[in-house]
Structure 1
């Protein structure tokens, strides 16, 4: 099968238009159309439904696009490995992690990474969905459980617990709870139990709900929970890694915490020798060491 025709087909399928694909490939619309038609003839199949608003893949076209998409991701990975020199760190690094960890812990520390590697281009993808690293949906992941996908290098970074925090202003106005039963006198700020989150966090929230809090604010991520707590809305369920960057938070009912949540860094085996991956891995490990030292100095470890 002609690789050049496949490349042009993939661009058309991705753009949904001969014109837009031609612009991307620096080819005329007629040249793109001829290549697609030749590919259809060689396969004896119709790959696109053509209509006034653009092109839609047929069933056969969908099958071929799935294949070319997988090929494209593998080629991108190969190109990234080739571009990685032994001494320089540059190019794009696609990092995926949860919304909470990405916004509250990782993003505030990225200036240190850019200061050391100014030519690095980080694409930070924050979502609860576990992206497929072997299929190159991302280069490296930080997740709140050990990854189960095959062909991954994984390293345990640290352990997180969910705990209860409030602002000093809220506690001065509403009192500090002495037992879980006192939650009935307070507004609880937490992730919705049905929202995507680590099991330990959901279990803690369910336990707190049995105390019948007087009011409730649920948010679908920890960044929103943190904002509610900082604005004196109530007692929030938050991961304990926020205590360093938000020292004004006051932990309440310190004996009520979630089970340990392991945090792992993972990346595909094929990127073992990537300088970008190594730089990011070392940066995260150094930041965690500094994070632990700060917590020890504050008496929180």
Structure 2
């Protein structure tokens, strides 16, 4: 069995299509198809069902995917131990994160890593969506829930709080509510409910069961900017709100608490660049722990 064929198989399985895998591997479509066919021939079984929308794993393909990931993990570990990454930390690490944490906290800090390690490239993807680590959409993901499925390594970073905030201008012009019942008399800024990536982020009812935001923004940073501009009262990340002197807390309801988790796939655990970046993020969060709660 040719390892390169297995590597191509994993890319197709994760991309869900041959063309997507070819782009990731920087190979042409025909080469990827030929490698998959060679692997299927060597195993004497079909690993994919070809569909109009892409390629879907067969039952045999699902079983082989587990084996192939173990092979990949062993290969990564062998390269890290034998060839090593030397004293230099090199390569690319893509980090997927919620936009609030990614933009407000990580973006100002991660540049230090590329200063410390000249051959290391960091790709930060701070968007309000979930990332599939098994499909290699990211090397490291910051999540708001601990994953319960998959071969993933997860470590809790920090608890954080969300509370009600308004701009000073809004407070001066409209006053501020002192109870949840008074919120209905105010303009509210919220999130787009059907675009939340996790049930734990659908938290408006914890502040007021009748919460009805007439202005909805699908990102945490967007909600913050809307509240700062005087659009109304919003539920904001406390650590982000504290960065803006023009925001004031609203005492109508107490803050709620959530948590951030740092997660990566088990197969990349041996890579020094993953360990270095993970340790850096954890250390930066620890230094700023008081900011979050």
Correspondence for 2:80: 81
Correspondence for 1:289: 286
Correspondence for 2:145: 145
**Contact 1:165-1:236 at 8 Å conserved across structures:** yes
| RMSD of aligned residue pairs (Cα, Å) | 4.5
Correspondence for 1:107: 107
**Contact 2:133-2:141 at 8 Å conserved across structures:** no
CA distance in 2, matches of 1:121, 1:176: 46
**Contact 1:77-1:136 at 8 Å conserved across structures:** no
Cα 1:245–1:90 change in 2 (3 A) is farther
Render the CA deviation track for 1:201-230: whole Å, top value 9, x for unaligned: 423x124454565x6211222122112112
CA drift at 1:237: 0.8
Correspondence for 1:206: 205
Instruction: Count the aligned residue pairs.
Output: 285
CA drift at 1:38: 7.1
**Contact 2:76-2:270 at 8 Å conserved across structures:** no
CA distance in 1, matches of 2:240, 2:140: 23
Correspondence for 1:154: 154
Higher Cα radius of gyration: 1
SS in 2 for 1:128: coil
- TM-score, scaled relative to structure 1: 0.70
- TM-score, scaled relative to structure 2: 0.71
Correspondence for 2:258: 261
SS in 2 for 1:161: strand
**Contact 1:48-1:56 at 8 Å conserved across structures:** no
CA distance in 2, matches of 1:58, 1:136: 17
Trace 1:1-301 onto structure 2 (pairs within 5 A).
1=1, 24=26, 63=61, 67=65, 77-78=76-77, 81=80, 85=85, 87-125=87-125, 126-133=127-134, 136-149=136-149, 151-203=151-203, 205-211=204-210, 216-253=214-251, 255-258=253-256, 260-292=257-289, 295=291
**Contact 2:227-2:234 at 8 Å conserved across structures:** yes
CA distance in 2, matches of 1:278, 1:174: 50
CA drift at 1:12: 9.7
CA drift at 1:282: 2.6
**Contact 1:162-1:201 at 8 Å conserved across structures:** no
Cα 1:193–1:71 change in 2 (3 A) is same
CA distance in 1, matches of 2:173, 2:210: 20
5+ residue gaps, structure 2: none
CA distance in 2, matches of 1:158, 1:128: 20
CA drift at 1:290: 3.1
**Contact 2:161-2:255 at 8 Å conserved across structures:** yes
**Contact 1:158-1:263 at 8 Å conserved across structures:** yes
Cα 1:236–1:71 change in 2 (3 A) is same
CA drift at 1:235: 0.8
**Contact 2:12-2:55 at 8 Å conserved across structures:** no
CA distance in 2, matches of 1:122, 1:179: 45
**Contact 1:179-1:253 at 8 Å conserved across structures:** yes
**Contact 2:187-2:214 at 8 Å conserved across structures:** yes
Cα 1:265–1:219 change in 2 (3 A) is same
CA distance in 2, matches of 1:261, 1:253: 19
SS in 2 for 1:118: coil
5+ residue gaps, structure 1: none
CA drift at 1:248: 2.8
CA distance in 2, matches of 1:280, 1:228: 32
